[in-house]
Chain A
Amino acid sequence: MKIRTLRLLAKEGTKNVYKNKLMSFASLATILATLFVLGLVLLIIVNVTTNLEAKKQDLQVKFYLRVDATRLEEEEVALFIEQSRASGVVAEYQYESREQAYENAKKDLKYEALMEGLTPENFAVGYFVTLTNPNDSDQFIAKLKLFSGVDSQWITYPKQELERISGMVRVFNYVALFVIAVLMVISILLISNTIRLTVFARRKEIEIMKYVGANDWFIRFPFIIEGMLIGLLGALLSHLLTSQAYGWIKDGLNTLFNSIKISGLQLVEFGELSIRILVVNVLFGVTIGIIGSFMSVKKHLNV
């Protein structure tokens, strides 16, 4: 097909959106509603996942060197931790020197008598390490055990907690995927039904085109442009609506949390996700519009 013809057909499709106002509106409303729900579901997913991931980040690998570790052994471990941070495996860490451990113990223990005779030298150096990726913990701990200075009995990591959270994230992701899949199927059905109505109303037009000798693409193209434009418009409107609705929900929840004094639940800012949600909306809307038009026209092409 020549560029000139494509331009002509694209213009035709654009005009048709306006000419078939009622049907365009019906399709637009369907796409808008679907994408709005999809947007909110995505935001719930992102929020829950972000909060669960944040909980994972709080989990620390805690380990102590042997009390009798030599300076050299201490320096080896210090170097390893520092290198791990430089390479990005370790996000951050806290170092507890023998002196600090001694002071902390003094503070924690109620009975000073228990501390009698103890000096900082009786305490071990400790590290509290936050890993960039909590799933790397096994590997990290295995490496730590290779150091002679590290007391392998005193490496702790709340693995069960990690597995519980990871399990929750996994289950939640499955549920989310399922919800999205169901939403997609519903929306494809809804939208292709609406477009089918549009196409049905114009089946005579398609028939005439066929009799005059138009090939299938010549007929399909304006409908596809039409579907694409409606999808795009639906996506943009839905993005506006989602951002507004999310703002209200967020404010509402924050007020609620404050009033019942729950803290620690952090709602993601819409701005951070705006582009991603927009991209998903546009891709989804445009694809649905195109597929819907393509499928609905197909039936009427066999004249």
Chain B
Amino acid sequence: MIRFVDATKIYSNGVVGLKNVTVKIDKGEFVFIIGASGSGKSTFLKLIMHEETPTEGEVYVNGYSVHNMPKSEVPYLRRSLGIVFQDFRLLPNKTAYDNVAFAMQIVEALPREIRRQVPLALGLVGLSKKAKAYPSQLSGGEQQRVALARALVNNPAVLIADEPTGNLDPKTSMEIMELLDEINQRGTTVIVATHEKSIVDAMKKRVITLDRGELISDVKKGSYTNED
């Protein structure tokens, strides 16, 4: 499903993002990527979604060779992924419903299909009643739920979340994590980059630890304390 083979990313300013990382994430897994700021968590995710390409090595995602794929294929790679960000990244001038529908319009889904799937996705994240609200009318947790619904609506094989709880209070954070777990139970591979100890410890999932770009540990049912 996702495979890094000796992948290295050095940015143009000389900063090392990742260094010789080899790792494999199978279908249906739930994986935390942890590490301090600048450890390479974001670079790891950026390589998966082709926001960056590796300087050396290979990265395979859902059958795409990310390290040497043509630009025209990038949209298709991204459609096979659901992406959730710390700052939600919702379109401010669209309602919750339209934000979710937008992801389906991009893949040119039939209007009938959109009318059926969007309420289901909003229902899954518990926001059926806020479909008509604009992002500015929603709380942080609710906005992140909309972002999750958007990420899920096209049934992606992999869901990537970059610090999804970074802007949320602990209670809401746990709710979002439970939601991610539920999504994972339905068969979607979930990869979460975070530095929130409590969440990682509570979830008891696979934990990949990065430090200054290097993969220093990869533990099944791990916790943040493995690193401490």
Contact = CB atoms under 8 A, between A and B. Distances in A.
Interface residues of B, number: 23
A111 interface: no
B83 interface: yes
Given A4-B108, A5-B105, A215 B75 contact: yes
B78 A5 contact: no
Nearest to A211: B83
Interface in A1-59: 1-2, 4-5, 8, 19
Given A204-B89, A205-B91, A207-B89, A212 B49 contact: no
Contacts of A210: 75, 78
Contacts of A204: 89
B78 A213 contact: yes
B108 A2 contact: yes
Nearest to B151: A212
Given A204-B89, A207-B89, A208-B91, A214 B106 contact: yes
A149 to B, nearest CB: 78
B139 interface: no
B103 interface: yes
Interface in B95-126: 102-103, 105-108, 111
Contacts of B49: 211
Most buried by A among B51, B75, B81: B75
A2 B108 CA distance: 8
A207 to B, nearest CB: 7
Contacts of B105: 5, 8
Contact of B76 (A207, A212, A213): A213
Contacts of B83: 211-212
Interface in A194-232: 204-205, 207-215, 218
A213 B83 CA distance: 10
A213 B102 CA distance: 10
Contacts of B81: 213
A126 B60 CA distance: 94
B106 A218 contact: yes
A210 B85 CA distance: 13
B91 to A, nearest CB: 6
A182 to B, nearest CB: 37
B93 interface: yes
Contact of B107 (A19, A211, A213): A213
A303 B106 contact: no
B9 interface: no
Contacts of B106: 209, 212-214, 218
A212 B79 CA distance: 6
Contact of B93 (A19, A209, A215): A19
B67 interface: no
A209 B79 CA distance: 11
Given A19-B93, A207-B89, A212 B108 contact: no
Interface in B129-166: 150
Interface of A: 1-2, 4-5, 8, 19, 204-205, 207-215, 218, 303
